[in-house]
Every structure is written in structure tokens, then in C-alpha cells.
Amino acid sequence: MPGADRLEGGRENYRTEKLAPLHNESSIEVLAPLREKLPGVPIYGVFDTAFHRTIPEHAALYAIPPDLAVKHQIRRYGFHGISHRYLLERYAFVAGKEPSECDVVSTHLESGCSVTAVHQGKSIDNTMGLTPLEGLMMGTRSGDVDPSLIPLLMREERMTVDEVMELLNKKSGLLAVSGDSLDTRILMEHYESDPRVKLSMHMFAYRVRKTVGAYFAALGSGEALIFGGGIAENNRLIRQYVSEGLCSFGLDIDHRANRTLIDIEGRLSTKASKLQAWVIPTQESLQIAHECCLATAR
């Protein structure tokens, strides 16, 4: 299912800014200058949610009154689809299979983080939801919290809705818990000496491990776990902690490979491992180019 669409018309055709204003609004604003400078050149949009259009209703819908969900288009859209599609297709290539033959769990772990369950080449769940705030603990985003946290902070701290949302989006996650940085490369330098840094890394790794296990349960089976994104591609501790939690699923991690696979592609599991694990550096720009080529061929 291609994720690129040719963009026609003007700004009035777009109504999605409210779902991800930090991303969508800036992308839309560039259209008018592009059309002015390149009037005869087709412009394509590659959507981060497109790969997740196959998520079934039982996974996509929230347990709220359906009339409100329909009225306001409230559902779990999922994000990082460009990256997750690349990870799937690259894994299929190295495994000598078609994407439609693959049942995998892919991780995109960077300043923004998500996990996707893929069944027969199609996304059936992604940890992000209506917005990119839902799901895993991230660099500056809280990920999942009790919704009652928002009115509590509004009452007790006299915060506005916008202030609470800024807190959850920009002042939480690894940055807040560690009190140091959102960059795990920096945090690992203080991992043994700073208890807050160690706690932040354990919280982060635990949430990834819990989610990956849940997604393999959702699949009912699975052949591979794919580590992608800057954190997953170079943080040995995170990969080891997540992988060791999947022993009962048949994953046997190759500890030598875990030490040496830094920002390079390779198999993280042993050859005899029932459940495979791979490190695949994600290439979103390459995937975007690929999607545009597919769109031009339609």
C-alpha cells in the first residue's frame, strides 16, 4: 500500500494541523513556495500514518462514545510509519522473503519512540495514537499517563491545558526523569554515577520490553524483532534488556553481536535462536524516495 499521494489544491484542503501541529503545519506551509518556484514539478506528500491504515478497528478505536469519535475523527492513527515500513521491507530483503510473508515487531527508538506489530506485512498496531504523545516513554514526551493526571496538575499547580500539554510533550520523558539530557549517548556516560540517569534508562527500557512482549502476544507468533532508530541502533543496554525479556518467546541474544553492532546492520540473535532479532538502521529519506517512485508509477 503506497504511502505517497500527489498533492493538489491549496491549504484549504488540509484539516490535520490539530493532530500534530509541530509537524503538519510546517509541512503544509512549504507547499505555496514550492508551487511558486517549481510550477511544473509534481509535489508528493508521504504520510507517516499511511502504513498504519491497516490497523483493525478493535486496535484503532478508543473506548469512548462512538458518536464523539466519529464527530471529531478520534482514533489511534499511529505514527513513524515511514520508518516502520522501511524496517519491514529491509528485513524482508535480508531474510529473502516478501514483506507479506513477515510477522515481526519493529521498534523505532529515537527522541520520538514507537513500536509496531506487523502481521503478513501489514501494521496491526502501533504504540502512538491520536497524536504522537501516546505510547512509550520518549526523549521529552511522557508517553502513556493516567488521563486524570491532566486535571490534577491543572487544579494543584494552577496550570492551563496548554501548559500541561507542553509539560507532557516537551518537558517529560528521559529529559525530566534523568534531569540531564534526552540523548541516551550522554546519559550512558553518567549511568553508573547518577541514580536519576540510571532510573530514567531503566524506566525507558522497561516500557519498551513490556510493549514488545505485548505485541508478540498480539501477533500470536512472530519471527523477528527489529531494532531501529538511533537509540536502538547504538545502545547495547536497551537491546540486551529488551531481548533478555523475550527468552520465553525463543529469543537467544548473541552478546558479542550486541557489543559490536553499533550503527550498523546485522543479526543480534544467535543462528539457533527460534525468534530472530536484527539491528537495522532506519532510512526514512530513502523510504520517502521509494514511496514517491511508487506513486509516480500508479
Task: Indicate the domain borders of the chain.
Answer: 4-297
The answer to whether the beta carbons of residues 103 and 275 sit under 8 Å apart is no
Q: Phi and psi (nearest 5°) for 183?
A: -90, 115
Query: Which of the four pLDDT bands, split at 50, 70 and 90, describes residue 12?
Result: very low
Q: In terms of DSSP bridges, do strands 122-126 and 113-119 run parallel, antiparallel, or are they unpaired?
A: antiparallel
Q: What's the mean pLDDT in 116-122? A: 98
16 has pLDDT over 60: no
pLDDT, tens digit, 9 for 90 and up, residues 244-279: 999 999 999 999 999 999 999 999 999 999 999 999
The answer to whether the beta carbons of residues 138 and 174 sit under 8 Å apart is yes
Q: Is 105 helix (H, G, I), strand (E, B) or coil?
A: strand
With a CB cutoff of 8 Å and minimum separation 6, the contacts of 275 are 216, 222, 223, 224, 225, 246, 249, 250, 251, 269
Residue 248 exposure: Cα atoms within 13 Å on the Cβ side: 7
Question: Mutual orientation of helices 236-244 and 195-219 as an angle, nearest 10°?
Answer: 50
Domain 4-297 class? Answer: alpha beta
The answer to whether the beta carbons of residues 149 and 142 sit under 8 Å apart is no
Q: Please, what is the end-to-end C-alpha distance for the chain in angstroms?
A: 11
Catalytic residue among 5, 48, 146, 162: 48
The answer to whether the beta carbons of residues 78 and 215 sit under 8 Å apart is no
C-alpha cell at 42: 509534481
17 has pLDDT over 60: no
What's the confidence (pLDDT) of residue 14?
A: 44
pLDDT, tens digit, 9 for 90 and up, residues 30-89: 888 988 999 988 888 888 999 999 999 999 999 999 999 999 999 999 999 999 999 999
Any catalytic annotation for residue 48?
Answer: yes
Place of cell 502501533: 126
In angstroms and rounded to an integer, the radius of gyration of the C-alpha atoms of the chain is 20
Rounded to the nearest integer, the mean pLDDT of the chain is: 93
The answer to whether the beta carbons of residues 115 and 107 sit under 8 Å apart is yes
The answer to whether the beta carbons of residues 259 and 236 sit under 8 Å apart is yes
User: Whole-structure pTM over 0.85, yes or no?
Assistant: yes
CA distance 3 to 254: 35
> What residues are paired with 275 via a beta bridge?
251
C-alpha cell at 6: 500527489
* Of 114, 111, 136, nearest in space to 55 by CA: 114
